[in-house]
Structure 1
Amino acid sequence: MLAPFKEVLGLPIGLNNAPYELPDTFRMRVGVPHRSGKLAFHAFDHDYPVMVSANAFWDKDKGQFKIPQATDLEMTDFALDSAGFVAMKAWGRSGRQPGIAGVYPWGLPSYLRLAAELAPSWYAAPDMCCEPEIASNREEVNYRVRATATLLEACLRQLYAWHEELSKTCNARTIANMFPPPVPVLQGWEIDDYKLSAELTQRVWERWQPWLASPALIGVGSVCRRAVRHPKHGLLNVLAGLEGQLPSKSRLHLFGVKGTVLSHLKQLPWVASADSMAFDVTARRKAFEGGYSNTVKHRAGAMSDWMEVAAARMRPAAGDQPRLPFFAEA
């Protein structure tokens, strides 16, 4: 559902970056590595919210995005990630890329057009992940944090230019539906990295208000390959460090969480959702250990098993005490 907005001189004003009303309850998205096929159908058939990477739509041979004429993803509540850690690591092995920041194989306009054509529930702005396997020192992490904010600025600049051009021939509602704003992504590895990323993100976002409303949803990247309680880079400590750094009413999406942390996240009302492809790693490992083929049927079963366990961890339990958030001033 498109968030309410106003119109000024033909342009939509006060655009929300999450075009549906965020649910009050925590939402777990299952990662689907394909643009269509049996795993996508399994997610649709079981009514799972989905996360899919833009990399799933990239045709390497043709150097362009390929969107299937029909996909079961269209029937799901799916969100679009600009590209996961695994994809970015794989591109890095091939050296400098021809697209965004020399890191992505595709250009920024191509990615934004992909998001417009797919029309997901929301899509992430391009970001620069900071896992130690990619960013091996503090200088590299700092560069990637700042580059992520720069990419957000470039993304918003491109979208605004398109909005201005479209306003000559389209009404504001059409423009808002065609090219909604993205979900910005915070990056880093240690707590202070994410605080800096939050500060830079807000500076960028505020420059584009009132065209944009305050972000309803903000992503937190480089989450999956970390301990839960490490004092400097544990996920729960990173989230605690971000309290008070977020705009009023903004909530978080966590990219790639461990299932074991879900029982903690359900008590944090400012965390709206998370995603994970852990089921696929588990399926591959079990198939290897058992000496049998890792078929799509086996992977689909692993998806359901993982989501059932995740649902159990997210259910309210005796002793749960939701923590009230505090925010930075809007």
Structure 2
Amino acid sequence: MTNENHDARFTGMPLFQTNCHLADGLLVRAGIPHRGGKLAFHAFEEGYAAMVSANAFWNPARQQFHFPDATDLMELDFALDSAGFTAMQLWKTRGKQAGIAGVYPWSYQQYVELASSCGASWYAQPDMCCEPEIATDQDQVDYRIRGTATMLEGTLRVVCDWQERLAWDCDSRTVSNLVRVPVPVIQGYSVDDYRRSLDLLLSVWERWRPWLAEPTLIGLGSVCRRNLHDPRHGLYAVLGGLEGHLPAGAKLHLFGIKGQCLEKLRALDWIASVDSMAWDFGARVSARERAISNTIAHRSTTMSRWMERAQTRASPAPGDQRRLLLAA
């Protein structure tokens, strides 16, 4: 579709939409494994930003999402993860699913509806993760990189279609608030993978101008449990390979990072936020080693301890250099 056709199609619709509003500094989001309950309440009491998986709201028996009428998540600054890793695991163990690409159990329409109604600060597009336990060779990684770009296109088509219908009765600001633009995600394992994924993302995004502005936030997927220092697929190498190649003004969100890398990340002004479930893994390990029950109280205490350390590491400290070499 040409830009001229896009211009005609977008008449009366919101134009140059951004996908996220960012604050200054490096924001750490605590992963919340539930759609509400005491862990979400604890995060609310402590004032933590959060990340919640779409899978937490999925009812497999009814094949639909259910967002609670009342949940402490509504009081939090939380972002919505598309649950790509969980979906890929489900696909590998059970075969073709009923939803997106035969991998997700839910459709584009179901996911966009959840994302637009749940009150999340932003939501990530559906993607296809590339962790080694999921993508076991380069052909599979390449397939998932292409699939992630295809899923971005599919999500944008649904969002645009719904906004177009709303534009008949609503002003542009209302339309853009009712149905939100997603945060795109790049995938891969090596530096070259992520650069190729970024190129595909930008190619898709460009086709939707002037409806879309440059992406404000881009997700970096498959970095959970990632080695930090490997020269080909370590986190620092990947970030070094992406530096200078992001669209003007765009920043990254890193899904599932290790807390010890935050001192370096805080010096990079093009990284906006990170999230981690490391605190919950740590709670399980600690409970097993101490031979105690992994209660909600224990998990809450562990969340607080992990987040306090993470926020300290993510905050500027006296003597910080403006930039740090990622390869160092």
Aligned equivalent of 1:222: 222
**Under a length normalisation based on structure 1, what TM-score does the superposition of the two structures give?**
0.93
The one-letter code matched in structure 2 to 1:77 is: D
Structure 2: gaps (5+ residues):
1-9
Aligned equivalent of 2:12: 10
In terms of mean alpha carbon deviation, does 160-169 or 190-199 score higher? 160-169
C-alpha distance in 2 between matches for 1:108 and 1:268: 33
Written as runs of structure 1 = structure 2, the 5 A alignment for 1:14-33 is 14-18=16-20, 20=21, 22-33=22-33
Aligned equivalent of 1:144: 144
CA apart distance, 1:90 = 4.1
Deviation sequence 1:162-211 (CA, Å, 0-9, x none): 11111122221111111110000000000000000010000000110110
C-alpha distance in 1 between matches for 2:192 and 2:11: 41
- Report % sequence identity: 55
Aligned equivalent of 2:55: 55
The one-letter code matched in structure 1 to 2:173 is: R
CA apart distance, 1:88 = 3.4
**Is the partner of 1:52 in helix, strand or coil?**
strand
Aligned equivalent of 2:180: 180
Deviation sequence 1:75-113 (CA, Å, 0-9, x none): 111000000524532453122211111111101100000
CA apart distance, 1:156 = 0.6
C-alpha distance in 1 between matches for 2:93 and 2:139: 20
Q: Is the contact made by 1:131 and 1:222 (CA closer than 8 Å) also made in structure 2?
A: yes
C-alpha distance in 1 between matches for 2:166 and 2:145: 32
C-alpha root-mean-square deviation of aligned residues, in Å?
A: 1.4
For this pair of structures, how many residues does the alignment match? 316
CA apart distance, 1:10 = 2.1
Q: Is the contact made by 1:53 and 1:84 (CA closer than 8 Å) also made in structure 2?
A: no
C-alpha distance in 1 between matches for 2:320 and 2:201: 32
CA apart distance, 1:225 = 2.0
Structure 1 residues 200 and 156, CA gap change in structure 2 (3 angstroms): same
Show structure 1 runs of 4+ deviating over 3 A: none
C-alpha distance in 2 between matches for 1:128 and 1:202: 17
**Is the partner of 1:219 in helix, strand or coil?**
strand
C-alpha distance in 2 between matches for 1:269 and 1:153: 28
Written as runs of structure 1 = structure 2, the 5 A alignment for 1:56-71 is 56-71=56-71
Structure 1: gaps (5+ residues):
1-7, 326-330
Deviation sequence 1:42-80 (CA, Å, 0-9, x none): 000101000000000001111110110011111111000
1:262 matches 2:257: no
